[in-house]
Chains A and B, each alone.
Chain A
Amino acid sequence: MTNDLGLEVRDVSHKYGKKFSVRAASLDVSAGSVHCLLGHSGSGKTTLLRIIAGLEYALGGKVMLGGQTVTCEGVHHPTEKRSIGFVFQNYALFPHLSVIRNVMFGMGRRSRKEQRELAMDLLRQVELEDYARSMPHTLSGGQQQRVALARALGRKPAVMLLDEPFSELDARLRSEVREITLRVLRASGTATLMVTHDPQEALSSGDKVSVMHLGRIEQTASPDQIYHRPANERTAQIFGVINRISSDSEFGKTLPRREETGEWLIRPEQIELSNASGVGERCRGVIVQICYEGPTVLVQSRLNSGQLIWSREFAPTNFRVGESVQVYLSVGDGFGQASAERWKTRA
């Protein structure tokens, strides 16, 4: 068994009643890397996670953990025999056991002393060694999450499965806990599959990202690729608002190369606004809405033709609602064309 083999999922399907919840999903996660599975609620991502864990039965397909086939035609290793760690959304800590007992729970076949040492080592890694004797309900959400992680690592699993592990934490805590979690996971050398519905989280945590929609994996790629070269409109839209521009509309006509008819999908940050009148292919419009996002603002303008266009500006912005502006594609020569080309939807 080579070290690289982490998790392999091939053509796995699953049904709840008559409805497909997972359709022929395939993905690979190599050891030591983090793979994010991104999708809206109901997209089947948690079901896929549960199939890998053996908590659900697959209709067909194959799952391999660390080179060992655990699910395929006629084979279904029970969950307890699989080399996995699972962190649940609600952490599922045992309320009747102290923190260290929770972490020791899965470490069978070792002496008590070894178990305790290993558990303390894991707690040290997640920076909770002072809480070993505490009961779970006395801990905060972020601490509980880290206990759940340490507990899942206690069996030294080949594959770590995380189900929305940070969704119950507030924003400040989330980045802190995420940083510790990813550091520990990468150091442990397990293949990590993390389910999330937060696109920012997926992009910032994953070595690779898969986008799932209605049970199907739409695209698997690196964060950079999946953001800039989405396979389709649905995948593009999951990362936030997007301008959908018909090539024969007023704004569409300003875009370079319009031989084909069709639609362009353009992210707000590729659109620029200017209140100085300029030359070139521009459209006039009026700002109707400004939304603050933090470091950036999202500005919606109505063109003279009535079309609405989103653009993104750095904060603080000087634009005001009601102001008349010029709207144009921000990218320079070449990039603009190429990028516009890329955004072409695959009809």
Chain B
Amino acid sequence: MAKPAQSLRSACTLVLCVLIASLVAVPLLQILSSLGQPSGGTWQHLRETVLPRYLWNTMFLAIGVGFSTMVMGVGAAWLVTRCRFIGSWVFEWALLLPLAIPSYLLAYAATDVFQFSGPVQTSLRELFDWSRNDYWFPNARSLPGAIVILSVNLYPYVYLTTRAAFLEQSSCVREMSRTLGLGPWKSFFRVSLPMARPSIFIGVSLVVMETLSEFGAVDYCAVDTLATGIYRTWTSRGSLVAASQLSLCLLGAVGFLIAFESLSRRSLRFYSGDASPKGSKRIQLSFPKGLVAALFCGSPILAGFLLPVTLFAYKTWNHGDERAMEMLSELGKNSLILATVAASLTVLLGLYLSHARRVRPSLPIRMASRVSGLGYAIPGGVIAMGVLGAILHFENGLNRVFESLLSWSPGFFFSGSIAALIVAYQTRFLSVSLGVIQAGLTRIHPDLDSVSRTLGKSGFAILSKVHLPILKRTLLCAFMLVFVDVLKELPATLILRPFNFDTLAVRVYQLASDERLDEASTAAIAIIATGIIPVILLSRLMSRGQLIETPFRQTQGRRNHD
């Protein structure tokens, strides 16, 4: 029997999904279209001179950061979910705090503290009476330095996904492995870890994507990667084509990662974890072991959060940016409005797209949601160029039409407006909300949809009456992740913001790039203060184990106990 003809409604859904996907696809195509264009020999030059170094550094950076965030994130997640030690309940939420610090701020702080004239080296010299050539000290502005800075900054992504996975794991499975003769360590490596593998992959691939597109911190550490190369090719050589061609290299790596992630997500398709994790016992660590565990969990918080916060607070207190103080309310308001609007929109679009994909999983809709997930890995600057190019094309065309019809044209109303900036944020961060919401949706058993349909509900009614209430916390989580990301975003904001419209991040960058770190500290501390509220909310949600919804765990909780 033939399936019924596609109704008007599903056609509308398709059109909307394609429109959303085009937010990401159009800037991407703009970049792809550069492939056939001549770059005036720049590409040839790049390939012969700097490209191997770019590739080499990028690869090293990605592997280094990916590996160390995996060790830090997974280790910390296991310690806080399975063990009890000094301060373990604090670490449980504090481990997320570095999320509130933009990576470039961490780079500024680390360089400032560890440079030759910084407090660490100065006090070492005073203590041991050394002079410049008496000792060796690691240089923060190097590839290893960048790896450490980014790892300390990005490990919360791995921690976040892995911890949720550990909490989801049924204590039955672990207890079973204990009865089969595995000790806690072996049971971790042979049972918990393999079971959490899909979530770890998702976390690590997020980290690697962030690393690939990282600009601010890497640039400050003077490491030449593809992302900084793109920016430099565009600004110093003025070759947009060559810059776009460089971006293509990056996109290749990203495509590979996304394929990898979707594979791991496929094996994640289980809907219920039966046992409640609250009932499972945690291992009480002995004092020395607990101290090691506390050190393991504490050092990334110290380096990734306390160090920059203390430094910027100290600098603000002693020699802050006098002008920034009066500008702060203005800048803060701009940042807040931008982040709120952009985050709400991404959540809305992400929800619509993932719902459409669940209800009507046709090939075009699946493709649309796949494409929408690509933006996260493209450097903000590249996205800005793509969005700007596309908008200008659109405005030019529109103006021409109006000119010929009415001999009047609306002018360039869209480019250089806040709306353009919001569009760029959608392009870049839609994948974040999409990923979180889709992960939340896969945890709602498909039978709930089926039963709603047998009860006479369809499409929008299922979304509003079933999915939405169940996903409330997931949506909040997606909102806050994007909110913090927008707050920290730098390159796209720099390029696309309207005249006389500054945000906190822009202000920090402008001051720091003039080596006026003391003055930059004021805006820096304001960014951290604004970002910390959603991050703490996020940690609180997470520490209650409610980050990812598992409705069926609830309904299966007390079965067979009439």
Contacts and interface: CB of A to CB of B under 8 A. Distances in A.
A53 interface: yes
Nearest to B459: A80
Interface string A166-204: 001110010000000000000000000000000000000
Given A74-B1, A76-B3, A92 B466 contact: no
B552 A55 contact: no
Interface string A86-120: 10101111111100000001101000000000000
B1 A80 contact: no
A95 B470 contact: yes
Given A80-B457, A105-B455, A140 B555 contact: no
Residue of B457, B554, B558, B562 ringed by the most chain A CB atoms within 10 A:
B562
A75 B3 CA distance: 8
B551 interface: yes
Contact of B560 (A76, A135, A140): A140
Interface in B436-473: 445, 447-448, 450-458, 465-466, 469-470
A170 B560 contact: yes
A45 interface: no
A43 B70 CA distance: 45
Given A76-B1, A142-B562, A92 B447 contact: yes
Contacts of B552: 90, 95
Interface residues of A, number: 54
A210 interface: no
Contacts of B455: 80, 105-106, 151-152, 154-155
B469 A96 contact: yes
A71 interface: yes
Residue of A74, A84, A141, A144 ringed by the most chain B CB atoms within 10 A:
A141
A60 interface: yes
A75 B5 CA distance: 10
A173 B275 CA distance: 22
A140 B554 contact: no
A73 B3 CA distance: 10
A92 B272 CA distance: 12
A60 B3 CA distance: 11
B555 A136 contact: yes
A142 B4 CA distance: 39
A78 B10 CA distance: 14
A24 to B, nearest CB: 14
A294 B457 CA distance: 46
A82 B448 CA distance: 17
A326 to B, nearest CB: 45
A78 B458 contact: yes
Contacts of A82: 454
Contacts of B278: none
A95 B554 contact: yes
B406 interface: no
A306 B450 CA distance: 54
Contact of B453 (A55, A74, A136): A55
Residue of A72, A93, A97, A170 ringed by the most chain B CB atoms within 10 A:
A93
A74 B2 CA distance: 6
Nearest to A152: B454
Nearest to B550: A95
B457 A106 contact: yes
Contacts of B466: 94, 96
A88 B559 contact: no
Residue of A50, A86, A168 ringed by the most chain B CB atoms within 10 A:
A86
Contact of B456 (A55, A88, A135, A155): A155
Nearest to B551: A95
Contact of A88 (B4, B450, B470, B551): B450
Interface in A138-176: 138-144, 151-152, 154-155, 161, 168-170, 173
Contacts of A142: 562
Contact of A108 (B447, B451, B456): B456
A131 interface: no
Contact of A96 (B457, B470, B557): B470
B561 interface: yes
Contacts of B3: 57, 76
Contacts of B562: 140-143, 173
B1 A60 contact: yes
Given A137-B558, A140-B560, A92 B451 contact: yes
A129 to B, nearest CB: 17
Interface string B462-494: 000110011000000000000000000000000
Given A78-B458, A108-B456, A169-B560, A71 B1 contact: yes
Given A92-B445, A105-B465, A106-B456, A86 B451 contact: yes
B456 A141 contact: no
A84 B557 CA distance: 28
A161 B451 CA distance: 11
B225 to A, nearest CB: 46
A85 interface: yes
A206 B552 CA distance: 30
Residue of B447, B448, B458, B465 ringed by the most chain A CB atoms within 10 A:
B447
Contacts of A169: 560
B451 A57 contact: no
A236 interface: no
Given A90-B445, A95-B551, A144-B555, A53 B454 contact: yes
A38 B454 CA distance: 23
Interface in A24-65: 50, 53-55, 57-61
A149 B267 CA distance: 33
Interface in B518-562: 551-552, 554-562
Contacts of A205: none
A154 B455 CA distance: 8
A79 interface: yes
12 contacts: A55-B450, A57-B3, A61-B1, A73-B1, A80-B458, A94-B470, A95-B470, A96-B466, A106-B455, A135-B554, A140-B559, A155-B456
Given A72-B1, A95-B470, A152-B454, 8 more contacts: A55-B450, A75-B1, A95-B551, A105-B452, A136-B555, A139-B558, A141-B558, A141-B560
Interface of A: 50, 53-55, 57-61, 71-76, 78-82, 84-86, 88, 90-97, 105-106, 108, 135-144, 151-152, 154-155, 161, 168-170, 173
**9 closest A-B pairs by CB:** A106-B455, A137-B554, A95-B551, A141-B559, A79-B453, A86-B454, A92-B447, A140-B562, A92-B451
